[in-house]
Structure 1
Amino acid sequence: MEETAAFEALFPCGRTVRDSFDGLRIALCTEGAMRIEVDGIGHELERGQLLCLTPSRRIRVESHTAELRLRMLSFSFDFLAGQPFLLRASVSEAMEQSPCIAPDRQAWRSLSELFDFLRMQLARDGFPSRREVVEALLFVLVAETSHLYADRPLRRRGARCEQIADGFFALLHRNFRQQHSPKFYAAELCITEKYLIRAISRATEHTPGYWIANFRLREANVLLRSTDLSVTEIAELLGFGSPSLFARFFRRMTGSAPLSVRRTGRKGE
């Protein structure tokens, strides 16, 4: 359980930090207030509000009050991949557009109680089922948080590069399993491949190829950890020409073999 000091260590006031953590950070503001920039856009976080940070964001804490108190949890997408519930693309996009939101009183109480119960369970060193209980509580926390974002309207961004990024990610969510070339996405958006690469790199600081590989890797983790599909079936589903090509891709991206990830996931069940 990370608190205010840990947040300040991650994101020192007045410095822009690229958050390299590959997962989700959820923070509750219980006292005080903070002004924070996320990807250059300013947001106000106040008492009784929720902060959600998705991966690869540029974070800059502009200022905060002396009495600022945060309660924060960080957990990786490897954890999410092992759960039957996953963040939907629309929820992730809503979190990116509105990292700070104000839950109603009932939702805030529910989130606060989950944080309290998680703290209590994490302190039970001798409890044999501690891991299972903590994972179940984290699952509920993700579900509660996602529900708060599920119905938030998405605003369309104005800059041309960001409009192209919106279109690219909408296509990617539908096609990443079988379409792995930036050329396909450029053609669908009626632009050149070179322009697509430049626009996505400017909007996200990563190339289209990075995002295509990232989506395939996350899906592979989900399928390995939460289904009984064979490596051959997963390779075919994700558009790899053979299981060996999939295994080489997976090892290059993670440093581990697909079957070792599956065995690790099964041990945690």
Structure 2
Amino acid sequence: MDALNVSFENILNTKDASAEAFGDDVIVYTIKNTDEQQPLDASMPSIRIDAVTFILCKYGDISFTVDYKNYRLTKGMMLSLSKLHILDDIHMGKNFEGYGLIFSEKFIMSIVEEIQIIKKLTTSSRTSPLLMLENDNMQLITDIIGHIKRGIKASDHICQKELIKNEVSNFILEIANITYKTRYKNENDAYKEDSKDNIIQNFIMLILGHCKEQHEVSFYAKELCITPGHLSRVLNAFSGKSAMKWISDALISEAKILLRKPGTNIQQISEELHFGEQSSFSKFFKKHTGITPIEYRNKILESQPI
């Protein structure tokens, strides 16, 4: 199975006791690490979830890599992910507690398709997915999550679907309001942010689609109709990484995905990633990870089944 794409149905079929679900549209996880001494690392391949996902930290901390950028959530921080994001390297700190909310895309679109400002904020969250909630907003959001959970349990309610949709609508509207007030202080800020967001968003779309065969910054800059220098400055300001580092990280992520798949040898992976010679790919991989592709594959085989 392709380790990269996880459907809403996959998650629904593998949800554990901590999850509450409504039909094919809503899953709410209560996430806890009750060990006071040990953090938890989730050994998993890089994935894209074909759904709209929110991760909220109530206590402690949790970190992961999203689109090759590291994020660490502490109390009051929320991460919003679309199906375009790549998620990897989950690390849950001791005493972490939070929520994970996963909504099918069709369910969310039935709520937001008529509201233009939410469409705009949904687009910007692809490039700036992290949101900090003040105490009053944190309480508001956790209260709404509680309402969603109670709606899921109210199976005898004659309007259960409408009840849940109403609470999810409240959740989305409040997140949109907090996001707008946090990111846009005035219209000029909004204009400048939109310009940068468009470059970053389009670059991410390009890199997700072309990083296997296009390894040079000049290709992406040309597609975006800007100079390589301008592209790197925008990306550095956004993530602290140059365009070349983004490309390298994307290639490493794709390489790790391929190395986890059975039935592929190193030469085939090298060719799929357009390195030509296996030695060039192996040298590149070791430079960026500290180990060879063979060593990485053996490490994965030892730790978990592929």
Q: 1:93 offset after TM fit, Å?
A: 3.5
Structure 2 contact 54–78 (Cα < 8 Å) conserved: yes
Report what 2:176 is aligned to: 146
Report what 2:141 is aligned to: 111
2:46 pairs with one of 4, 14, 17: 17
Q: 1:96 offset after TM fit, Å?
A: 2.1
Matches of 2:101 and 2:200, distance apart in 1: 32
- Alignment CA distance shift 1:188-1:99 (3 Å): closer
Q: 1:35 offset after TM fit, Å?
A: 1.9
1:97 aligns with 2:127: yes
- Alignment CA distance shift 1:34-1:156 (3 Å): farther
1:60 aligns with 2:97: no
**What runs of 5+ residues in structure 1 fail to find an aligned partner?**
6-11, 170-185, 192-198, 206-269
Matches of 1:17 and 1:4, distance apart in 2: 20
- Counterpart secondary structure, 2:56: strand
Q: Deviations over 1:85-120 (max 9, x none)?
A: 466443123322332221122211110110111111
Matches of 1:40 and 1:15, distance apart in 2: 15
1:35 pairs with one of 41, 63, 72: 63
Report what 2:202 is aligned to: 165
1:1-269 map, 5 Å: 1-4=28-31, 13-21=42-50, 23-83=51-111, 84-85=114-115, 88-151=118-181, 152=183, 154=193, 165=202, 189=225
User: TM-score of the superposition, structure 1-length normalised?
Assistant: 0.53
- Counterpart secondary structure, 1:73: strand
Report what 1:194 is aligned to: none
Matches of 1:29 and 1:14, distance apart in 2: 20
Matches of 1:164 and 1:133, distance apart in 2: 34
Structure 1 contact 14–63 (Cα < 8 Å) conserved: no
- Alignment CA distance shift 1:61-1:126 (3 Å): same
Tell me the amino acid that sits aligned with residue 3 of structure 1: T
User: TM-score of the superposition, structure 2-length normalised?
Assistant: 0.47
Percent identity over paired residues:
11
Tell me the amino acid that sits aligned with residue 20 of structure 1: I
Q: 1:155 offset after TM fit, Å?
A: 7.7
Matches of 1:14 and 1:74, distance apart in 2: 20
**What runs of 5+ residues in structure 2 fail to find an aligned partner?**
1-27, 33-40, 185-192, 207-221, 228-242, 251-306
Matches of 2:223 and 2:84, distance apart in 1: 27
Q: 1:57 offset after TM fit, Å?
A: 1.2
Count, aligned residues:
170
- Counterpart secondary structure, 2:136: helix
- Alignment CA distance shift 1:66-1:86 (3 Å): farther
Matches of 2:152 and 2:205, distance apart in 1: 41
- Counterpart secondary structure, 1:133: helix
Tell me the amino acid that sits aligned with residue 13 of structure 1: A
Tell me the amino acid that sits aligned with residue 146 of structure 2: D
Matches of 1:141 and 1:38, distance apart in 2: 23
Q: 1:163 offset after TM fit, Å?
A: 5.8
- Alignment CA distance shift 1:164-1:93 (3 Å): closer
Q: 1:14 offset after TM fit, Å?
A: 4.8
Q: Deviations over 1:73-93 (max 9, x none)?
A: 111221123234466443123
Structure 2 contact 52–108 (Cα < 8 Å) conserved: no
- Alignment CA distance shift 1:38-1:188 (3 Å): closer
- Alignment CA distance shift 1:122-1:79 (3 Å): same
